[in-house]
Homo-oligomer: A and B are copies of this chain.
């Protein structure tokens, strides 16, 4: 067996990273299993040895990546502090996490927007729901001390997530760098909308 300490470089990791990149670039439905294993420098049975199917590979990819995003955001949004303070931190964290995990972030976003009967959509849905749930919990937490939030928690969660997601989508498409995305004025603009 190979040295288990160092991650990556095992065939399983090579498959995962190649699949992630290809799914991100071309879309899940447009990438063939053959293309993935060619990129990873292995053959099909090896892939089917580690993942029971192409769909299983996607699910493994989503779980690994999405949990990273979800856990990071959870940590920030459940931290202690004033409403505005946490709100600001949450925006920064959200953007930072998305930038650092750009491939998997955009993959999840794209899958969530895709067609209803698409199996990739069905696989991505729970992770987006989880994300929305965390944001909603945040607004509920502050709805007691911030009167104007009361009864609007669901809308605020959708609005918050919607703004940031679309902001990232548009700016990624414009080829924006991390510095541009974390521009102080832009973050203040987003925060302002929820005060």
Contact = CB atoms under 8 A, between A and B. Distances in A.
A188 to B, nearest CB: 10
A94 to B, nearest CB: 13
A166 B170 contact: no
Number of copies of this protein chain within its complex: 2
A189 to B, nearest CB: 5
A25 interface: yes
Given A132-B170, A155-B189, A189-B155, A114 B27 contact: yes
Given A155-B186, A155-B189, A170-B132, A26 B162 contact: no
A159 to B, nearest CB: 5
A158 to B, nearest CB: 5
Q: Assign chain A's interface to a size class.
A: 35 or more
Main secondary structure of the interface of A (DSSP, over half): helix
Nearest to A155: B189
A186 to B, nearest CB: 6
Contacts of A189: 152, 155, 159
B113 A114 contact: yes
A162 B158 contact: no
Could you say which of A110, A112, A161 has the most chain B C-beta atoms within 10 Å of its C-beta? Answer: A110
Given A25-B116, A115-B23, A163 B158 contact: yes
8 contacts: A23-B115, A26-B115, A26-B117, A27-B29, A30-B115, A109-B113, A110-B113, A162-B162
Interface of A: 23-27, 29-30, 106-107, 109-110, 112-118, 120-121, 125, 132, 152, 155, 158-159, 161-167, 169-170, 173, 186, 189-190, 193
